[in-house]
Chain A
């Protein structure tokens, strides 16, 4: 047989094993052999996993291992150079539809300092037809709802961004270090919110460097990419792998 094009940087157990016996019509999320190349370097090298409704996955790994990149690919914000994402057995190809499938919490909280906390959530609540009050209360923000976002602390901003995640009613939550800046009581609230989402059949994928309140979650350890290895020209779509700042 032909030798593999690229050697695997992920642990063998994280590649293929999860998906080997999963049929195509399975419910939930299946990710197969995701490869992302940035500036001719392999960032994600053949990531595969499968998650049933109600499951959770914790992404761990050193800085620069591609955890955030993987979340952005799953959110449809970034294209993978190769690999498949299946949702309920159907390949996810349209990034616009993918946007409604996921609720993405990035590094930055995306709050406008000039608007109040409630006004910051209005766009999501209007777009998805949800009242923001339940989400605000779930994260203990009721008393802060009418304060301008510029007066919120880092942890309070993080909770506001988490409230927006709830509002979207999306089955797949992609959380980039959701517990960043949260105090002990807020982490407990986050645990309740995550448990409620999973009880509804939702899936949670979170990157973290600390323990998250995700009982019974799987763990996927990504390894730091080997930066001595280059992939000149990329795989199929070289432009997708180039950062826009390099276009000029």
Chain B
């Protein structure tokens, strides 16, 4: 039994050219760049989530009536619910497309831990869905007659909350990967988990509108993001491993 037996590291010792050296950072940035390039080439998918966000938000004035007082009161909730639903749209393709064409096997063989692969895919989901939603939130909020002074609170909340939605969504889509009717299961898994984000995100704007302190709500959103950042990639990575097995 030699030292390798104890460490379990399968190092090639043949003294020849075949010594695969994974460049961790290069692999990560190449994976992220690939996903962003794919999102750019298939721009309709990204645009679909954005248009859904705007359109769903515009339905509320039609259904509730154009009373400015009512809309102003409901605006934070409307923006947050629409952002949550819109971020669900691209989720079933996040890992599903990779599983179908065999690319997931190759991603897991890059020498990166599965959780890191999952985290990179989640980051690309946020960049292609969460970030555009953040940009589109301002026009939607103004359309619902939110005061300009409350906008920064909404945007800070969304900046903390949309990564949570991407992380929870990535977790759920990795878990339902390969399951029959995964697309139906996905929202059923994500929506209950996302309720804290919804509650504190909307509450912060509400507090600001009423002139109360909203720091605690944003703090709790940040704490939730910290928890999601540490836990979701690990669970998503385990889900990816289970899906290819």
Q: Residues of A with Cβ closer than 8 Å to B?
A: 24-25, 27, 53, 72, 75-79, 87-104, 106-112, 114-115, 119, 122-124, 126-129, 164, 168-171, 197, 200-202, 240, 243-245, 247-248
Contacts and interface: CB of A to CB of B under 8 A. Distances in A.
Interface stretch (B27-35, B48-56, B65-73, B85-93): B27-35
B186 to A, nearest CB: 12
A90 B178 CA distance: 33
23 contacts: A53-B16, A77-B105, A77-B245, A88-B13, A88-B14, A99-B111, A104-B106, A108-B101, A109-B102, A110-B101, A114-B41, A114-B42, A124-B106, A126-B29, A127-B22, A127-B111, A169-B18, A171-B14, A200-B17, A201-B14, A240-B245, A245-B178, A248-B180
A151 B5 CA distance: 47
Interface in B178-220: 178-180, 185
B21, B31, B33, B111: most-surrounded residue (chain A CB, <10 A): B111
Contacts, number: 172
Interface in B79-137: 101-103, 105-106, 108-114
B18 A77 contact: no
Contacts of A247: 179, 242
Given A96-B111, A244-B177, A111 B2 contact: no
A93 B20 contact: no
Contact of B110 (A78, A93, A127, A245): A127
A244 B8 contact: no
B14 A53 contact: yes
A89 B101 contact: no
Contacts of B21: 128-129, 169
Interface of B: 1-2, 4-5, 7-14, 16-23, 26-27, 29-31, 33-34, 37-38, 41-42, 101-103, 105-106, 108-114, 176-180, 185, 241-245
Given A88-B14, A94-B8, 11 more contacts: A27-B13, A75-B109, A88-B13, A90-B8, A110-B106, A115-B38, A126-B23, A168-B20, A169-B18, A200-B16, A244-B242
B106 A91 contact: no
* Secondary structure of the A contact surface, majority rule: loop
Given A53-B14, A200-B17, A248-B185, A88 B4 contact: yes
A201 B34 CA distance: 32
The majority secondary structure among interface residues of chain B is loop
A109 B114 CA distance: 21
Contacts of B17: 169, 200-201
Contacts of A104: 105-106, 109
A111 B38 CA distance: 12
A166 B10 CA distance: 20
A201 B18 contact: yes
A245 B106 contact: no
A114 B38 contact: yes
A95 B241 contact: yes
Contact of B179 (A24, A72, A248): A248
Contacts of A243: 178, 245
Contacts of B23: 126-129
B183 to A, nearest CB: 13
A168 to B, nearest CB: 6
A148 B117 CA distance: 25
A128 B22 contact: yes
Contacts of B5: 89-91
A78 B242 CA distance: 8
